Amino acid sequence: MDVKRLHLEGEFVESNLGTVLGDDGKVVVRLVAQQYSFEPQCIVVPAEMPVTFRATATDAIHGFVVGKTNANTMLIPGFVATFTTSFKTAGEQLMPCHEYCGTGHEAMWARVQVLEPQEFLAKAKGGERMSCVPR
């Protein structure tokens, strides 16, 4: 994977980031970490359903813990980190970078909006990318 072309082609282009509900019923979240933010800044997921994360970094080693789950990974430029987890309850959670990545590290985090499964499924339409709902 060529990190310089990450935003231009392939799985991690901007238009492909965020959450999708696939035809197979699987929920996949794609995100990119860079100094000093995650893209997207807010991720929407369902509670009580398996959610697969696929993530990478562009510039430095980052890492993240996903809200109140057991998911915790490092992101290394040039590699895709993937894991599947699930969220027990609906609500808003935080996803901070936990790997010191430079001066802006402390401010590097994303929000995770966990929706009730019915609400999530009602919002999800045929493979379209989903974004957080204003609360």
The one segment of 44-52, 68-76, 87-95, 108-116 that binds Cu ion by CB under 5 A: 108-116
Q: Which two tokens stand for residue 104?
A: 């802006």
Query: Is 108 among the residues that bind Cu ion (CB under 5 A)?
Result: yes
Q: Are strands 27-34 and 51-57 parallel, antiparallel or unpaired?
A: parallel
The percent of the chain in helix, strand and coil, each rounded to the nearest 5, is 10, 40, 45
Residue 122 · residue 116 · CB < 8 Å: no
Interactions with Cu ion, residue window 35-94 (CB under 5 A): 62
> By C-beta, is 105 or 129 nearer to Cu ion?
105
Rounded CA-CA distance 76/48 in Å is 29
Query: Is 123 among the residues that bind Cu ion (CB under 5 A)?
Result: no
> By C-beta, is 27 or 97 nearer to Cu ion?
97
Which of 7, 54, 68, 105: binder of Cu ion (CB under 5 A)? 105
> Which residues in this chain contact Cu ion in the complex, by CB under 5 A?
62, 97, 101, 105, 108
